[in-house]
Amino acid sequence: VTRKRTDAGTAAAIDTATAADGAKERLSRETIVDSALALVDAEGLDAVTIRRLAHDQGVTPMALYWHFRDKERLLDGIAERLLSNVVLPAEGAAADDVPTSWDVRFHQFLLAIIAALREHPAAADLVRTRIMLSTAGLDITESALELLAEAGFDEEQSAQLAGQALGSIVLLVTTEPGLEVGPDAELKEQARRTKRAALQSLPPERYPRVMASVEAFLACGDSQEYFDLGLELFIAGARAVAPARRGSPAVS
């Protein structure tokens, strides 16, 4: 793990997109988050550094401190951006006279969040602890709680389940099998080969299922099945755990 930045390849690529591109635009919270997100996508969350960001922007590290109180706030800003990219499904498909049940709506709801997180998988984990810090996140949370209340859960249970739902989809997005994010695919690919080799050298009589399952998991069908199973696990669990509702929603 060398940390010397001798290779300026990827850094330059990002440079040209912003500062070195001639039109030296003003710094702002938005542009900073933009370039942070580009950096996350290209080199992972650990690469996001005040100094690195400033350098890419052609600016002094301290310049960023005018726009964000500290690094934590910058990360909050990234999370907020991800959450504001979520487009929630329209509330009422009111044309039908038969209302869609809460579980299929919850499914669509979670799918919408997943779609936004998948755009920047390496940053997805940030939102887990930062949902309540932006209005976008609060809107999402409020919707989730409404759906869970509709399912019959009380306030405390709804809060817990909403948290678990978020955790589950973040986990799904961050550990999607085909996903490679790091500095370059080459290095990660090698790491994966090493890991696989280590697994295959295990005593097969002791870990038969581990060896078979991991291989099957990495081979991985399409991501469609992956997310479907992950989501259905949660939804079906919620359905099973939900207490009986007091009367189905009145059909007007």
Partner DNA sequence: ACCTGAACACCGTTCAAGT
Q: Which residues bind a copy of itself (CB under 8 A)?
A: 1, 70, 72, 132, 138, 141-142, 145-146, 149, 154-164, 167-168, 171-172, 175, 195, 199, 202, 206-210, 212-217, 219-221, 226, 229-230, 232-241
Name the binder of 62 from DNA, a copy of itself, none, CB < 5-8 A by kind.
Answer: DNA
Q: Which does 61 bind (CB under 5 to 8 A by kind): a copy of itself, DNA, none?
A: DNA
Least distance from DNA to the Cβ atom of residue 53, Å: 8
Verify binding: residue 65, DNA, rule CB under 7 A.
yes
CB under 5 to 8 A by kind: which of a copy of itself, DNA, none does 5 bind? DNA
Min dist. Cβ of residue 160 to a copy of itself (A): 6
Question: Encoding tokens for residue 128?
Answer: 């887990």
Nearer to a copy of itself, 7 or 70 (CB): 70
Give the tokens for residue 63: 């310049």
Q: Name the residue nearer to DNA (CB basis): 60 or 175.
A: 60
**Binds DNA (CB under 7 A): choice among 8, 23, 62, 197:** 62
Looking up tokens 């949902």, which residue turns up? 131
- Of the two residues 27 and 162, which places its CB atom closer to DNA in the complex? 27
| Binding at 231: pick from a copy of itself, DNA, none (beta carbon under 5-8 Å per type) | none
CA 32, 33, 38, 39 dihedral sign is positive
Long-range (24+ apart) CB contacts under 8 A made by 10-16 are: 10/42, 10/43, 10/183, 10/184, 11/55, 11/56, 13/42, 14/38, 14/39, 14/42, 14/56, 15/56, 15/58
Residue 11 is a binding residue for DNA (CB under 7 A) = no
List residues binding DNA (CB under 7 A): 1-5, 26-27, 49-52, 54, 59-63, 65-67, 70-72
